[in-house]
Amino acid sequence: MPILDFLTGEFIDVISWLDDTRDTMVWRFERRGQAIKYGAKLTVREGQAAVFIHEGQLADVFKPGLYQLETNNMPIMTTLQNWDHGFQSPFKSEIYFVNTTRFNDQKWGTKNPIMARDPEFGPVRLRAFGTYSMRVADPGKFMTEIVGTDGEFTADEISFQVRNIIVQEFSRVIAGAKIPVLDMAANTGDLGRLITTAIGPLIAAYGLSIPEFYIENISLPEEVEKALDKRTSIGIVGDLNRYMQYNTAEGLAQPGSALGAGIGAAMGMGMGAAMGQQMAQPGPWGAAPVPAAPPAPPPPSPDTIWHIARDGATTGPFSTAAMGRMAGDGSLTRDSMVWTPGQDGWKKAGDVTPLARLFTIQPPPAPGT
């Protein structure tokens, strides 16, 4: 009996894997030099696949289920070994368990800015980042193309290569999409689908797939964003003269402020000069004061520029006068989607006050009617 027990212990009769990690993609079953008993039980759980490598060659791949390792369910192994139906001897093979579940929250981002041509701003540099999920779609191909003989393969070991593919295809898609920079935030979903389609064949060559892909942000260089903020602020301020008068009044209202002190000193000097001029005039109190010249009219406020979205494309910029002409000939309706700097997303023209007026103005009857 001791000899039989010893011989029995030399053979493996139960093969399974319980994954207690979150990043292991492939794990090699440790045989420790033991042979696999003919008829051994193989358990492949949901979200797993078992890959047999025999003498350096890819053999059988098992999907989730409970198997008894015999010639009838190991066709490739039987062919490689020239086994007949009466074969019942132990055999030696490397067994790899592959995790086929999704590996979520994988990060990607552009290491260097991407050059693109914008219809409004000209050449621009863009940065972007986001997340994606990946999973093993073809365990056999993944073993032969990526893992090799690695006994434990994690997601970090392949994520760098996947990120390089994503950034490469993102740069190509952005350059060819011709979507204005200001409209990219509203089209990240469409861009994500285009990029997923572009990287699909490249990722499939590794036995992988990308079930989900997200673009979280597309940004311009910091100095360009500051210039856009100034441009938006000017559009919001409108009348710059009134804005300066308001700031001046605010400074005077703050006691002890540098602005108030400076303005007070300037006013004092001006009042002293005026009194000196009055004292130089004949009469006990000088001549009657000369009325001040009326202030120059403020410059006209900058016209608002508008963009129109139609059939997945954008046109513009258009002035308000141009929008009025389009409303008159019917090419601009209340349901047309419009956007202007400073506006919170795309809105219908009928819901934007400056444009809604264009649809309420009716021309007088034609002469002779």
The secondary structure of 131-163 as a DSSP string is EEEEEES-HHHHIIIIITT-SEEETHHHHHHHH
Tell me the backbone φ, ψ of residue 82, rounded to 5 degrees.
55, 40
> What confidence tens digit (pLDDT) does each residue in 186-197 have?
888 888 999 999
**Mean pLDDT within 236-260:** 60
Amino acid at 319: S
* pLDDT given at position 357: 79
* pLDDT given at position 49: 96
Contact 206, 145 (CB under 8 A): yes
Neighbours of 18 (CB within 10 A): 9
> Which residues are within 8 A (CB) of 163 and not within 5 positions of it... i.e. 6 or more apart?
107, 108, 109
Q: Which of 136, 143, 132, 139 is nearest to 169 (CA)?
A: 132
* pTM for the full predicted model: 0.58
Q: Which two tokens stand for residue 307?
A: 């963009």
Contact 244, 251 (CB under 8 A): no
Most confident residue range from 7-21, 270-284, 286-300: 7-21
**Mean pLDDT within 244-266:** 59
Neighbours of 292 (CB within 10 A): 6
Tell me the backbone φ, ψ of residue 97, rounded to 5 degrees.
-95, 130
Q: Which two tokens stand for residue 300?
A: 């006209």
H helices present in 33-180, as ranges: 75-81, 139-142, 156-177
265 vs 12: which has the higher pLDDT: 12
Q: Which of 72, 161, 175 is nearest to 118 (CA)?
A: 175
DSSP state of 320: H
Residue 147, pLDDT > 60, answer yes
* pLDDT given at position 6: 41
Neighbours of 216 (CB within 10 A): 12
H helices present in 59-104, as ranges: 75-81
Residue 85, pLDDT > 60, answer yes
22 exposure class (CB count in 10 Å sphere: 0-12, 13-18, 19+): exposed
Residue given tokens 């047309």 in the structure block: 336
Contact 127, 111 (CB under 8 A): no
Q: Which two tokens stand for residue 353?
A: 């006050």
The mean pLDDT of the chain is 80
Residue 146, pLDDT > 60, answer yes
Residue 365, pLDDT > 60, answer no
* pLDDT given at position 299: 56
Q: Which two tokens stand for residue 297?
A: 């009219």
Q: For 216, how many CA atoms within 13 A lie in the half-sphere containing its CB?
A: 10
Q: Cα separation of 129 and 132, whole Å? A: 10
